[in-house]
A and B are shown apart, each in its own frame.
Chain A
Amino acid sequence: MSEKNDLFTLAEFDERESEHIAAPRYSYWKSVWRTFVSNKFVVAVCIFMIIVVLFAMIQPMFSHYDPMYAPNINDPSSKFLGPSSEHLFGTDNIGRDLFDAVWAGARNSLIIGFGCTLINMILGIIVGAIWGFSKKVDVWMIEVYNVVSNVPFLLLAMILSYVLGSGFKSLIFIMCVTNWIYVAYFIRTQVMIIRDREYNLASKCLGTSTWTIITKNILPYLISVIMTYISREIPSNISYEVFLSYLGLGLGQQNASLGRMISAYTSYMTGYPHLFWIPVSLLAIISVSLYLVGQALADASDPRTHR
């Protein structure tokens, strides 16, 4: 026994020291970033998307593409050309360069998609948070919602576009004037789900003001839901613009638009498929990559996925 005691000494175990090593400080946003970056595929998609967006913003500045300007309209030899080194995406039925047209259209679509989403989300989140939190506001807001959601959007869009005329600002106005209320309703439901959770009662017992409870307890919970919503909302706004332009309610002839392009080139789908497929593919690429990036951001914003 004594021999053993000579040979072995008891190593002191300091729990504090081990915890100190095991629990390094970390910040929330840094971990969000780390989790996001760890998904290599999404980072690649994100970089690709940024390149596409930047290109769509910059290229039209140099091409000065104007859909009303068609100098080759009377030159049959420059119509319906296939993709070549001179015309990367070929030319269309009146001899306009499709490459310039597509990027100019993408730029307008992106501006409308992002702009409308931004306005809708800001209005919707602010109103929805208050709406979901206060029972008094809920009583009359739900009636407003019922009225607004029962007005057919297309009817409203038609009336407004006749009153305001076609153009950039009026299209954004049309797409925001009632649509924010759907975002607000979505946020309201989400807020109501977590409003009466115990941790909010606990905050109330600690004397936390309603505003702080909304911004610190409820909205952080909703970040991933909101990110998912945004990643669906941007592509859907882009396709809404496409849809309205297709019906002739969106941007006028003087503005390049992916929607107008797609609707105009549908008839050439068999004869000159590049005219139809190139704008459609660009729209799809933008939508899908936005959705993927949004989903990845939504996942990354949940601290449970952090390690």
Chain B
Amino acid sequence: MSNNKEVLLSVRGVDISFDKGGKKPFRAVKNANFDIYRGETFSLVGESGSGKTTIGRAIMRINELSKGEIYFKGKKISGKISKEDDREVIRSIQMIFQDPAASLNERANIEYCVSEGLYNFHLYKDEKDRIAKVDKALEDVGLLPEHKSRYPHEFSGGQRQRVGIARAMIMEPELIVADEPISALDVSIRAQVLNLMNKLKEEKGLTYLFIAHDLSVVRFISDRIAVIHLGRIVEIAETEELFKHPLHPYTISLLSAVPMPDPQIEKPKKHVVYDESKRDHSGEKPILQEIRPGHLVFANDREMKEYEAKLQEMEKLEASDK
């Protein structure tokens, strides 16, 4: 499926280090490679500190790359780019932030928060048009135009996140980087926001890069998932494939951590702890390679053979079940 789709964003060999001048530069992201196709929801999953947000911010060009390139629609957007390209990219890639309370300007009313992007790019004909656009954006996310003279602190967390979404949507972007958009929200409103994001995606033909640590949420929203551990992408696969045939031990560990609302499944379940240091590091250096079409795993040739055997066994088991 992946070959006949248009690649919207591709990340090539990206390394991101912090404290570069210091004695111990910290490599937050190590050699990340992935493509995002137009119209899909691509999820980046991993524990906290694994570098998922760093990748998201690198795409937004907040974090500088120390190695590698990022291409958007075939055009390089990392490093120094021309002013027109810069504006083009800002318009086409928007971000939804993790903490809706921290990401809105408390001293500006909702009208300004939402129309900030419009002002910057002058995306309106006149005042009337701008207000109409703001009203439309607020209605799209389920808020009322009457809310626009209010200030962010007067809203609930879910409503604030909707404002954050409206602010991104009004720019009519092609790609949205959603950096854990629901992890700061109440469980009761998470579904609302997720459904809203899905609805907007269908209506506007958006592409999402969804960053999360919660696999159950990711399963619900995404088409493809990349699992990242300590700055390294260890497995990329389509959602159902990943949940059915997890190969990398870290993915297995992550999947085993998802709580099930059924005590009969939950009780005998053993949580698999993944410990990088206990792995067999013998043999050549592992790389991210394709084991099935669209299913990539971080392994060397020896591990590849193990995974292949495991995968065939799993497939056999499924065939016999049927």
* Contacting pair A203 B144 (CB below 8 A): no
Q: How far is the CB of A221 from chain B (nearest CB, A)?
A: 6
Can you show 14 pairs from A to B with CB atoms below 8 A apart? A16-B146, A20-B146, A23-B150, A28-B109, A198-B98, A201-B62, A203-B116, A205-B90, A207-B121, A208-B116, A216-B108, A217-B107, A220-B105, A220-B107
14 further contact pairs, Cβ within 8 A, besides A198-B98, A205-B60, A223-B107: A20-B144, A197-B102, A199-B104, A201-B97, A202-B95, A205-B94, A207-B90, A207-B91, A216-B105, A217-B105, A217-B107, A220-B108, A221-B107, A306-B151
B75 contacts the other chain (Cβ, under 8 Å)? no
Q: Given A198-B103, A203-B116, A220-B108, A19–B146 Cβ distance below 8 Å?
A: yes
Alpha-carbon separation in the docked complex, A303 to B113 (Å): 15
Q: Given A206-B167, A209-B120, A303–B107 Cβ distance below 8 Å?
A: yes
Q: Which B residues are closer than 8 A to A by beta carbons? A: 57, 60, 62, 87, 90-91, 94-95, 97-99, 102-109, 112, 116-117, 120-121, 144, 146-147, 149-151, 153, 164, 167, 171
A204 contacts the other chain (Cβ, under 8 Å)? yes
Q: Given A198-B102, A206-B116, A23–B153 Cβ distance below 8 Å?
A: no
Q: Which A residues are closer than 8 A to B by beta carbons? A: 16, 19-20, 23-28, 197-199, 201-209, 212, 216-217, 220-221, 223, 303-304, 306
| Nearest A-chain residue to B177, judged by Cβ | A205
Q: How far is the CB of B304 from chain A (nearest CB, A)?
A: 39
Alpha-carbon separation in the docked complex, A44 to B147 (Å): 35
Residues of B within 8 A of A304 (CB): 106, 153
Alpha-carbon separation in the docked complex, A220 to B107 (Å): 6
Q: How far is the CB of B114 from chain A (nearest CB, A)?
A: 10
Q: How far is the CB of B149 from chain A (nearest CB, A)?
A: 4
| Nearest B-chain residue to A21, judged by Cβ | B146
| Nearest B-chain residue to A222, judged by Cβ | B107
Residues of B within 8 A of A206 (CB): 90, 94, 116-117, 120, 167, 171
Residues of A within 8 A of B91 (CB): 207
Indicate the member of B103, B105, B150, B153 with the most A CB atoms within 10 Å. B105
| Nearest A-chain residue to B89, judged by Cβ | A207
Alpha-carbon separation in the docked complex, A204 to B151 (Å): 20
Q: How far is the CB of B87 from chain A (nearest CB, A)?
A: 7
